[in-house]
């Protein structure tokens, strides 16, 4: 009798440990585990918070519920809990319901600090190298990074990254011949320059009196 009971336990243990039948489920097991994890209110709130940090516009509780595959009342409870946690922590951000959805915003009372930081970044001047590179892009756009480097005679990778981070230039596809990325100026560039369009850029002719004598490939 004792031996029979031992065999039975071995069969049960083997099944519970995940024998061949469990292996056959493959990715389904992971999917089930993900759903189970979000049944925990703490995990659900964490998932909602993560989404709040990546959305570019307010997102509704219905959208969140659909994405997370949880009942909307649970998501609404998670949003309320998250908002309360921010209030209790008295940190730099808060959760607001606006325009039919939810999004994380900086606290209004800290607007002066945020504005000071942003304005300080706007006041920082571009280097001479950045200005020269920006001028080449403005007058030759769309233009590849290699072409800009050839015109200026130096590597411009770092400078272009700086201009892109300032929102002054943007990549707009690739050159069909070389495959290199093409760059052009942005609306922010026009705004900073006080221009309505690129047509209003000043002519280079007065600055380059021998322009007609130069081969276009050298410009």
Q: Domain 26-124 belongs to what topology? A: Arc Repressor Mutant, subunit A (1.10.10)
pLDDT value of residue 203: 82
Give 59's strand partners: 102
Nearest-Å Rg of the Cα atoms of the chain is 29
pLDDT value of residue 207: 59
Question: Count of CB atoms within 10 A of residue 100's CB?
Answer: 10
Question: Count of CB atoms within 10 A of residue 138's CB?
Answer: 19
Q: How many Cα atoms are found within 13 Å in the side-chain-facing hemisphere of 219?
A: 16
Q: Which CATH class is domain 128-218?
A: mainly alpha
pLDDT value of residue 65: 95
Helix axes 128-140, 145-152, angle to 10 degrees: 120
Residue ranges of domains in the chain: 26-124, 128-218
Question: Do the two domains 26-124 and 128-218 of this chain adopt the same fold?
Answer: yes
pLDDT digit string (tens) for the chain, length 219 residues: 444 444 443 343 433 344 444 344 344 334 434 444 788 999 999 999 999 998 888 899 999 999 999 999 999 999 999 999 999 999 999 999 988 899 999 999 998 998 887 776 555 678 889 999 999 999 999 999 999 999 999 999 989 998 998 889 999 988 888 888 899 999 889 888 888 888 888 887 665 545 444 444 444
Check: pTM over 0.85? Answer yes or no. no
Task: Please enumerate in sequence order all residues whose Cβ is within 8 A of that of 205, keeping only pairs 6 or more positions apart, or say none.
Answer: 211
């Amino acid at each position: 009798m004792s031996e029979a009971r031992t065999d039975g336990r071995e069969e049960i243990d083997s099944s519970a440990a995940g024998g061949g039948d469990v292996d056959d489920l493959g990715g389904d097991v992971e999917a089930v585990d993900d759903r189970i994890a979000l049944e925990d209110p703490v995990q659900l709130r964490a998932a909602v918070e993560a989404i709040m940090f990546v959305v570019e516009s307010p997102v509704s509780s219905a959208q969140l519920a659909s994405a997370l595959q949880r009942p909307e009342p649970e998501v609404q409870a998670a949003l309320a809990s998250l908002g309360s946690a921010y209030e209790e922590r008295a940190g730099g951000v808060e959760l607001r319901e606006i325009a039919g959805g939810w999004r994380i915003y900086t606290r209004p009372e800290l607007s002066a600090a945020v504005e000071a930081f942003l304005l300080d970044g706007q006041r920082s001047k571009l280097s001479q190298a950045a200005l020269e590179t920006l001028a080449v892009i403005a007058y030759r756009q769309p233009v590849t990074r290699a072409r800009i480097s050839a015109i200026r005679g130096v590597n411009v990778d770092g400078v272009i990254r700086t201009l892109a981070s300032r929102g002054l230039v943007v990549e707009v596809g690739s050159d069909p011949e070389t495959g290199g990325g093409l760059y052009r100026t942005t609306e922010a560039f026009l705004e900073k320059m006080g221009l309505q369009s690129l047509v209003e850029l000043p002519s280079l002719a007065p600055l380059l009196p021998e322009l007609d004598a130069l081969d276009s490939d050298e410009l």
